[in-house]
Amino acid sequence: MLKYFVKRVLGIIPTLLCVLLFLFGLIYLLPGDPASIMLGPRATPAMVDALNKSLGLDQPVYVRLGHYLWGILHGNLGESVWSKHTVASLIMSALPNTIVLTLASMGLAALFGITLGVLAAIHGKTLIDHLVTVLSLIAVSIPDFVAACLLLLIFAVRLKLFPVLGGGEPGNLGDQIRHLVLPVIALSMGWLGYIARLVRDTTLEVLDMDYIKVIRSFGAPMSYIAYKYALKNAIIPVVATIGLGVGKLLGGAVFVELIFNRPGIGKVITDAVFARDLPVVQGGVLIAAFLFILANLVADLSYAYFDPRIRYE
Amino acid sequence: MTQEKVLSELSHRWDSFRRKSQQRVKKIAQIIRVISREPRGLIGASIIGIILACAIFAPLIAPFDPNEQDIANRFSAPTSQHLLGTDYVGRDILSRLIYGARAAAIVSICSVGIAVIVGVPLGAVAAYNGGAVDYIVILIFDVIRSFPSVIMILVLAAIFGPSLLNIILILSFTSFPAYGRVARAQTLGVKEEECIMAAKSLGATTGRILLSHITPNILSPIIVLAGMDLAVMIMWESALSFLGLGLQPPAASWGIMLKQGYTYIETAPLMIIWPAIVLITTMLGCSLFAEALRVALNPREREPNE
């Protein structure tokens, strides 16, 4: 296990380096002069020069690359072009919101997905099974931004059950939770359907195994078997897809944060994209990519922990 | 072994290779039959068919010009003239939805096509050559895949600016590694097979082996992946247009319509509901079709009691 762990952790280093290089190279992909593009058509030459200087664009490439990497090593992601906040502080103030949103959605999706999946498998080929299958198919098919719009329209605007926009008052936990409900449902729906489907198929396979048949022939009740034996096996593929899921949810969080006007890293990045605030885009994407790589690493490691065969490949 | 013996052995292997290809054609025919027998497959295929028909024959089907404004008649509820009502400048929602199928179809088909054309040869060449080429190609794939695709797409769309061509290029850029990886894994399995050895000893060039012997053998999982990706790309076209980074108003796109509905969420719920229904139905059609395809390709699931 230790060997596998070291191998996987070392394996992400080249990827991380390439991500950094790509983000550094981003500024060269911009058609035209980066500073004047960021400042827009009304910028004076003096403003462009000043921005060039503060971004270090007047220096040779290798010096800038050195500064860039040095800065990142020290947690310095640069400064926003517009607000003069540091990028790190902008991201740090937004990140907890996104993490809460993502984790809550993941938890909701896992809880209901696994329950529904096991339920469907136990009641194989009955109404419950068909219902779960159809519902999970529908849930998977609804893109999260469409789900967010519909939930907002139905539950916030029409029925007025939940607040429409924002992340809730800071410090007021109840208010924040009320603001979290609809975004979490919108974000978790697709993943919930996916997990339910996955768990149903795995559980059906497990329930077909000889050892389960033996336990059943001893007269153990189905609910006991499902909880005690089937569930443990059914969870493995869910764990394996958590890395994928975090990526999907982080991505979906961009839309959900935008539609519900919630503070979060997705909103920071999209706002920066529209404001052409390149340092913020670079920093935000770096953190998002880093989280994504980290989640995949954790998922891989936990998969290897549950399934020893992986370690010896 | 005499030379004749070697040659007869080779021609025997060649025959077995041809037989394999014929079996593949038969298998595809069988898959189509299974899908059409499966109700899920039929529903999915008909939804996809309707969308495609709307995309191709939009000017013939749509009752109005998608950009014809009728300010006096704005926010109209469904009437016999405007079957689904009108939007905030009085444009016919049904006509705009029909034209929106065009944007969806163009973006999804083109971007999946480019991703396949770029990704599959890269993956196949990497696996066939091995060594440094393989390592570099895998590294490229891994780097692109290590960004959450949404964020990658957002950044690229913001840098290159919104246009139809740019969306297609960006979407294919973020999805070609998936095809590359599948092609690579498949090629690794195929390249040790006897028919490849036979072709090699008959003196076929690397290019020829890759093109006419390896490619046909690795195509079927790629077709499944491409089929499922079409839905994802339709979703992306709408999502980017929704954000304002895709097609630009006044173009008719489901994403733009949804965005305009979002702006008028308090006053005109129909402007959200119709494009949402169309998008969900399209996605559902694609999921059903993919499901049927999966069942057709996986005979284990085709038991009579299923």
Whether B291 and chain A come into contact, CB under 8 Å, resolves to yes
Count of Cβ atoms closer than 10 Å to residue B179 Cβ = 26
The token duo for B247 is 């097609």
Least CB–CB distance from A273: residue in B154, B279, B291: B154
B111 in Cβ contact with B172 (< 8 Å): yes
Can you list the alpha helix ranges (DSSP code H) found in B130-253? 131-145, 149-160, 164-190, 194-201, 206-208, 215-243
Weakest mean pLDDT among A16-20, A256-260, B1-5: B1-5
Q: Provide the percentage of residues in chain B whose pLDDT is more than 70.
A: 96
**Distance of residue B7 Cα from the nearest chain A Cα, in angstroms:** 39
Whether B151 and chain A come into contact, CB under 8 Å, resolves to yes
CA end-to-end span of chain B, whole Å? 54
The token duo for B205 is 């060039």
| B163 contacts on A by Cβ (under 8 Å) | none
Interatomic CA distance for residues A3 and A173, integer angstroms: 44
**Distance of residue B158 Cα from the nearest chain A Cα, in angstroms:** 6
Among residues B108, B103, B121, the alpha carbon closest in space to that of B54 is found at B103
The token duo for A22 is 């790509």
pLDDT confidence of residue B93: 85
pTM to 2 decimal places: 0.81
- Asked if A149's CB is within 8 angstroms of B265's CB, the reply is yes
Among A residues 28-87, those touching chain B with beta carbons less than 8 Å apart: 29-31
CATH code of the region B64-287: 1.10.3720.10
Average pLDDT score over chain B: 83
pLDDT confidence of residue B304: 41
Among B53-57, B89-93, B127-131, B150-154, name the most confident range.
B53-57
The token duo for B288 is 């059903």
Interatomic CA distance for residues B89 and A48, integer angstroms: 40
Per-residue pLDDT tens over the stretch B213-252: 788 778 778 887 888 888 889 999 999 899 888 888 888 8
CA end-to-end span of chain A, whole Å? 12
Among residues A154, A158, A174, A178, the alpha carbon closest in space to that of A166 is found at A178
pLDDT band at B306 (very low <50, low <70, confident <90, very high): very low
Interatomic CA distance for residues A66 and A61, integer angstroms: 9
pLDDT confidence of residue B50: 92
Interatomic CA distance for residues B101 and B56, integer angstroms: 9
Q: How many CA atoms lie within 13 A of A193 on its CB side?
A: 20
pLDDT band at A311 (very low <50, low <70, confident <90, very high): low
The token duo for A134 is 């159809």
Domain boundaries in chain B?
A: 64-287
| A296 contacts on B by Cβ (under 8 Å) | 146
Looking at residues A227-249, what average pLDDT do you find? 76
Residue B104: pLDDT above 80? yes
Looking at residues B53-76, what average pLDDT do you find? 82
| B232 contacts on A by Cβ (under 8 Å) | none
Interatomic CA distance for residues B217 and B41, integer angstroms: 25
Least CB–CB distance from A251: residue in B151, B159, B286: B151
pLDDT band at A168 (very low <50, low <70, confident <90, very high): low
A39 in Cβ contact with A55 (< 8 Å): no
Per-residue pLDDT tens over the stretch A69-79: 777 777 777 77
Whether B139 and chain A come into contact, CB under 8 Å, resolves to yes
Buried b (16+ CB within 10 A) or exposed e, A142-152: bbbbbbbbbbb
Whether A259 and chain B come into contact, CB under 8 Å, resolves to yes
Count of Cβ atoms closer than 10 Å to residue A229 Cβ = 18
Per-residue pLDDT tens over the stretch A5-39: 888 788 788 778 888 888 887 767 666 666 766 67
Weakest mean pLDDT among A26-40, A166-180, B54-68: A26-40
Per-residue pLDDT tens over the stretch B79-103: 777 778 888 777 888 889 999 999 8
- Asked if A138's CB is within 8 angstroms of B284's CB, the reply is yes
Residue A313: pLDDT above 60? no
- Kindly calculate the radius of gyration of chain B based on its CA atoms and give it in whole angstroms: 24
The token duo for A14 is 């080249």
Average pLDDT score over chain A: 81
Interatomic CA distance for residues B243 and A259, integer angstroms: 10
Among A residues 281-300, those touching chain B with beta carbons less than 8 Å apart: 281, 284-285, 288-289, 292-293, 296
pLDDT confidence of residue B112: 94
pLDDT confidence of residue B278: 92
- Asked if B273's CB is within 8 angstroms of A29's CB, the reply is no
- Asked if A285's CB is within 8 angstroms of B147's CB, the reply is yes
Residue A215: pLDDT above 60? yes
Tell the residue number behind the tokens 């997905």, with chain if given. A113
Q: Provide the percentage of residues in chain A whose pLDDT is more than 70.
A: 90
pLDDT confidence of residue B305: 38
pLDDT band at B299 (very low <50, low <70, confident <90, very high): low
The token duo for B275 is 């494009």
Whether A157 and chain B come into contact, CB under 8 Å, resolves to yes
pLDDT band at A310 (very low <50, low <70, confident <90, very high): low
Interatomic CA distance for residues A231 and A200, integer angstroms: 10
A193 in Cβ contact with A136 (< 8 Å): yes
Name the more confident of A60 and B246: B246
CA distances from A12 to A129, A285, B146 (A): 41, 17, 10
CA distances from A82 to A109, A275, A278, B151, B243 (A): 38, 8, 10, 21, 21
Interatomic CA distance for residues A289 and A20, integer angstroms: 10
Among A91-95, B156-160, B292-296, name the most confident range.
A91-95
Q: How many CA atoms lie within 13 A of B257 on its CB side?
A: 32
| A163 contacts on B by Cβ (under 8 Å) | none
Least CB–CB distance from A153: residue in B239, B265, B279: B265
